[in-house]
């Protein structure tokens, strides 16, 4: 098992390497959740996530003879960058196996640190099997993403910093996938404050650690599907599961809609970018899935390496859900002035026109008529409802919106 002294030793190795990231009170999310909420901004860590801590602690602990043969790792992205950065710093060759669907930003960032990247399989677990093949063939040291005492101890340094910055914390909330972060966090935190509660948050589309915690035995999922790719793990670790079963107080689930809403709200309210895995703690707060009222709660924002295409989709979906963006289709007579009349009505209702598509040749459109699709910027759901009502009263049939 990992002990507090292992975490303290890891902290010494990480001095001058890992940032001591900010632990800061959030008035907005305290008000929304009913607790006193403090965020730990590991998304601002070097390489964009907490993973550097465990990876560096493992690699810095290697004997000279093992360093010469290099290291190999499997990762959905963040551990890859941590291993690549640590290996580069130590002058050690590194091969990283990542799932074929890993975000391009994470692949490119890993390569930028000089690591060789191999894309294999559809999930972390598939990449893990390929990495083990490479390890056996080349004799390299395998740096596990979570199920390793040195990695776990490195992640645990987060708890040391949080409890030094805010000694009054009585609850810690962290993402859980394979379990490395929450295992290290719990070992350190409970050694310092035994009565402190630790709660893990996992994506509903990849609930391996959740099911394991509830059944008190490791499970293997047949498949995983979630925007929180950093915690999309089919099988949690053996050592991490032992620690979680013994020390963690609870594990809860959030779905992708809740995660997306959290990403968007932190971006808009806090001006901070989070990836899916980094936002699950906030998602659980907003969804009322954590017993935070009356507690001082530390929430780990574990990473910010999100693909720009993903964030653009999340933003657009969020705007639609909030009634700040809407598309409407209707049929007009195909004659001069018909479109202008519609646009004047929209303008009077203070909706801003983003784009117009005017189609009079589509097979489903009657002859002498035209289908118009408008993309509009609106204020809120009430504004959208009022606009629909005005258009309907003016004789326009709204096909969908």
Q: Give me the active site residues, please.
A: 51, 302
Question: Tokens 């360093």 map to which residue?
Answer: 67
The region, left, alpha or beta by phi > 0 then psi within -120 to 50, assigned to residue 42 is alpha
First-residue to last-residue Cα distance in the chain = 56
**Residue among 106, 291, 273 nearest 198 (CA):** 291
β-bridge pairing 197-203 and 250-254? parallel
Alpha-carbon distance 264 to 245, whole Å?
33
Question: Tokens 């793990």 map to which residue?
Answer: 233
Sign of CA dihedral 311, 312, 317, 318: positive
Structure tokens at 138: 């080349």
β-bridge pairing 116-119 and 141-142? unpaired
3-state helix, strand, coil in the chain (%, to 5): 50, 20, 35
Measured in degrees and rounded to the nearest 5, phi and psi for residue 8 equal: -65, -40
Question: How many C-beta neighbours within 10 Å does residue 166 have?
Answer: 17
- CA 304 vs CA 41, 50, 150, 228, 367: distances in Å: 9, 10, 23, 11, 52
Question: How many C-beta neighbours within 10 Å does residue 325 have?
Answer: 18
318, 264 contact by CB (below 8 A): yes
């Amino acid at each position: 098992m990992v002990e507090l002294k292992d975490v303290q030793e890891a902290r010494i190795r990480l001095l001058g390497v890992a940032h001591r990231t900010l632990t800061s009170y959030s008035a907005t999310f305290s008000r929304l959740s009913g607790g006193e909420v403090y965020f730990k901004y590991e998304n601002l860590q070097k390489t964009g996530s907490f993973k550097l801590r465990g990876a560096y602690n493992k690699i810095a602990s290697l004997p000279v003879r093992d360093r010469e043969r290099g290291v190999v790792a499997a990762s959905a992205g963040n551990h890859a960058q941590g291993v690549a950065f640590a290996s580069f710093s130590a002058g050690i060759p590194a091969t990283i196996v990542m799932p074929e669907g890993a975000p391009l930003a994470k692949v490119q960032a890993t390569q930028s640190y000089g690591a060789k990247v191999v894309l294999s399989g559809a999930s972390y677990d598939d990449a893990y099997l390929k990495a083990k093949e490479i390890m056996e063939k080349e004799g390299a040291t395998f740096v596990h993403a979570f199920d390793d005492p040195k990695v776990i101890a490195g992640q645990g340094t987060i708890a040391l910093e949080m409890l030094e910055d805010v000694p009054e914390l009585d609850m810690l909330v962290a993402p859980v996938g394979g379990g490395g972060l929450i295992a290290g966090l719990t070992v350190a935190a409970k050694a310092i404050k035994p009565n402190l509660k630790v709660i893990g948050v996992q994506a509903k589309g990849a609930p391996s650690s959740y099911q394991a915690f509830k059944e008190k035995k490791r499970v293997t999922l047949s498949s995983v599907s979630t925007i929180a790719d950093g915690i999309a793990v089919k099988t949690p670790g053996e050592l991490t599961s032992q620690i979680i079963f013994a020390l963690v107080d609870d594990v809860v689930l959030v779905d992708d809609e809740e995660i997306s809403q959290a990403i968007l709200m932190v971006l808009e309210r806090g001006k901070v970018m989070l990836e899916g895995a980094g936002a699950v703690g906030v998602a659980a707060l907003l969804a009322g899935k954590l017993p935070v009222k009356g507690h001082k709660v530390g929430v780990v924002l574990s990473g910010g390496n999100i693909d720009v295409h993903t964030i653009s989709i999340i933003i657009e979906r969020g705007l639609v859900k909030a009634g700040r963006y809407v598309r409407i289709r209707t049929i007009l007579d195909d004659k001069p002035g018909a479109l202008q009349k519609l646009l004047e009505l929209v303008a009077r209702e203070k909706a801003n026109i983003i784009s117009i598509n005017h189609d009079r040749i589509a097979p489903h459109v009657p002859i002498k008529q035209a289908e118009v699709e408008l993309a509009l910027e609106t204020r809120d759901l009430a504004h959208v409802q009022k606009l629909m009502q005005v258009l309907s009263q003016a004789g326009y049939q709204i096909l969908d919106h």
